Structure 1
């Protein structure tokens, strides 16, 4: 039997086989659905019919393709031809997809009026859920949730042999549909503040801003007080406790909507993450300063609200800094963060660059919640991925599937436990390993560094 059939990573350089006609049929349905949505967005005459026809065709095509592509073949992580396909190897299809995604986010944030033809067909659904007409954010939330659900089904077919991956995928689908789409809509229908219970500070950075706290308490009354309490407790009490026991995976891989989209819609691009040391250095130089920046912004806003800062710093003025004129420097600071990090980085780059840079660009380089969780995981958590170097065959499957840019194979070859702050505990390296070398564990803290310490001691003995 050829070696490439035993170890799929060896077949990556081969030319991909022709796509079966039935798979082409399902993909054609998806393409026609996307074309219908484009027509709906560009015209107003038949936009309702084209919109819903597009949604139905995309949904049916994705579900049918997922069942045919992944449900009809043996279970397992198949990595064949990832780097030579145009859609997953930074080819023409990938670049077109990236440009379309990036363009959608740019229009969504800065020219939402051009999405009006896509927004209006959702008025009926929005009225039934929220008791108000749809807007661009309801459109975005609906598309976002639909992407997680449809591609979540794909992930369930693809990883059906792994109980851990099944439960994890169902979890992100549940939290996105329930806590990030349905419940916020129902809160608006009840004349309560819109609130996403699955997002916390510092990721949802404005939830602990004084203006937001005042709005929640004033308009939400008792429920608003609970929302503020919920956000504070989850950020400063529950997050350290849960991370101590389970690592950052409890949030990044099981709850977070950003991670949910990356693990479902972004799964075809997970292998594109840069594993170089230069990328790791860039990651460290970006993500921790961003965490420090949002901590600073939050602290300054509270100091301003408490009257500690000078009046000129908190009063609207035409001499304000940056892109935001006629507002105070303290508000400019918050708006600057929201513009650069909250919109450009997390949206335009974080999702739009999936097909080129991998699915966790935002989580890896920009998310302050990931930085906060990573520090806790690195220094306080019981979580680690243990390795058995004696069983490693250096196939590279583990490194290829790591969306956080960790060269897992190097740890596995040396038998070192993986305790990297960036690891989101998705478990894909363990799922992809053909030898069972990698295991996710929540063990005693005193054993977290044991493997690396023993190897370091052995190296010193050899050198001496």
Structure 2
């Protein structure tokens, strides 16, 4: 479908996507494309990006601040003390460009007020650094940064598609989605009659798909490329987006976006592979209940309800998602969107704050990490369903555990720092905190953690590193909940060391990389921050050694170490 399409951009399309004022100002740059028919989306996208690049160059040329301004302002400072009056007097003329430059420089240097510098050169250097940051952000603040260009190019490409898929979306939805789903179900459902209940992992390490073989590498490569295109090159995915337009209009009343396509495919994957989970684990009521739970929460809370909210002119929100997993929750535009939506929008803001501030400590104390990570979370839902064939690939080594603790808690600290910076900018109207540009901090977090880690690595590496790569090494919410579970929770996995035959099933299939057998052999409770309470270790145990329990918090730690039924010490 990447190569199927015909594209013809019109003035009406550009006016709708850019707005009438911007289209009027930029129509000369687009003139060469108007009325031209493209048979290749790659050529069409290339020409569009060239136009936006030319527009950005002209905007930067108009609004950029000359570096010499820094020395001129510093030269007027008394005793090398910075004052905002220096900037205000320098840009005294009442003109649109000058006012913009003044506002930006005041915003970026607000933290420097009344600060004394050793010399005029030191003050100049600090001002030059701020000017460099302002100039680097012109494309984002006045023009079109790479994200805006990607979104606009994708929307214009989608609106200009006049090919076969655009004319017959239901047909292509049938061919590309519905028929493959039917094939998957035809493949899975007969297992209800041909196999006995109980988990069958026969030859799982001899299968090219589930043992890092060529099929697994191929699937991992496809998933990685999918996320790369989704996040950074959505303009090449427009044919897929056009295909799901009818579903989007049915739910929200609006055409589909790349995020609707992603949510649609994400939900389909959880539902179809969830049926596989129900068949495989049908001997375990616990496994079936939590599988139905993640299917329900993904379909309703994460997919259908947010789209219905949009149809009702309310802010889009996944009501089960929360900060810090939803790292953009406190972004200025998100807060303003909710406040402007009235009573229900304010409820959404309060609900989100209450969920992570009250809900997480309370439910984690009562039920452990599993209440969210294994029963509610969409990331966990995809890992448990689509990722189930790869849970045995998680690294159980001591070095992996040491890296895990550093990595996941490092992301949590990064999320906290980034959020503090975002809220500081929101309430103070300053773009910097201690000299650090908060917009850049937000952008770095979104790229490295929100996109690369959570998407490209978190899902693309299922066939290479197991199904909980993101949950184990990168999820800040998992780190937050895990700290509470480790030190203040009723949840634990109890073991009966006398019954353990050291088969290793529990450790092999622990998706979080915990060496469960080590605890079972010693009769130790398993109380780990990383444990998501999926219960698969208990389900694959042939002797009933492991049991998931919610009891009083006493006796979780410092249990006696056993050999058989004889205690020979205590280990914390």
The alignment's TM-score, normalised by the length of structure 2, stands at 0.69
Q: CA offsets per residue over residues 367-397 of structure 1, 9 Å max, x none? A: 0000000000000111000000100011111
* C-alpha displacement of 1:92: 0.4
SS in 2 for 1:208: coil
Aligned counterparts of 1:458 and 1:122: Cα–Cα separation in 2: 62
Tell me which of 216, 239, 259 is aligned to 1:117: 239
Spell out, residue by residue over 1:16-73, the C-alpha distance to the aligned partner (whole angstroms, 9 max, x if none). xxxxxxxxxxxxxxxxxxxxxxxx3431354333442121221111112221345530
Offset of residue 78 of structure 1 = 1.5
Q: Counterpart in 2 of 1:325?
A: none
Which residue number in structure 2 is paired with residue 36 of structure 1? none
How many residues get paired?
407
Alignment of 1:48-447 (within 5 A): 48=169, 49-69=171-191, 72-218=194-340, 220-307=341-428, 311=430, 313=432, 329-447=437-555
**Cα 1:336–1:157, aligned 2, differ >3 Å: closer, same or farther?**
same
Distance 1:420 1:251, change over 3 A: same
Where relative contact order (Cα < 8 A, 6+ residues apart) is larger, the structure is 1
- Cα–Cα, structure 1 residues 228 and 453, in superposed 2: closer, same or farther, change >3 Å? farther
User: Which stretches in structure 1 are left out of the alignment for 5+ residues?
Assistant: 1-39, 322-328
1:355-374 Cα shifts (integer Å, max 9, x gaps): 11100000000000000000
Deviation at 1:306, TM superposition (A): 2.7
Report the aligned-residue RMSD. Answer: 1.9
| Structure 2 counterpart SS, 1:223 | helix
Distance 2:239 2:332 in 1: 36
Q: Aligned equivalents of 2:431 and 2:492: distance in 1?
A: 49
State the distance in 1 between where 2:562 and 2:330 align: 44
Structure 2: state its 5+ residue gaps.
Answer: 6-162
Larger radius of gyration: 2
State the alpha-carbon separation in 2 of the partners of residues 46 and 293 from structure 1: 46
Aligned to 1:13: none
Aligned residue number for residue 3 of structure 2 = 42
Q: Name the residue aligned to 2:559.
A: 451
Scaled by the length of structure 1, the TM-score of the pair is 0.84
- Matches of 2:408 and 2:332 in 1, distance apart? 24
Shift of 1:301: 1.8
1:73-127, Cα deviation, whole Å (9 max, x unpaired): 0111122111111010100000000000000000000000111111112111111
**Structure 1 residues 288-308: Cα deviation after superposition (integer angstroms, max 9, x where no partner):** 01101111111122223232x
Kindly tell me: are residues 206 and 452 of structure 1, through their superposed partners in 2, closer, same or farther at Cα, counting changes over 3 Å?
Answer: farther
SS for the counterpart of 1:441 is strand
Deviation, structure 1 residue 451: 2.3
Q: Is the 8 A contact 2:330 2:422 kept in 1?
A: no
CA distance in 2, matches of 1:138, 1:416: 46
Q: Which SS does the other structure have where 1:176 is aligned?
A: helix
Report the Cα distance in structure 1 between the residues aligned to 2:164 and 2:337, rounded to whole angstroms. Answer: 40
Tell me what 1:25 maps to.
none
* Counterpart secondary structure, 2:549: strand
Contact 1:417-1:452 at 8 Å conserved across structures: no
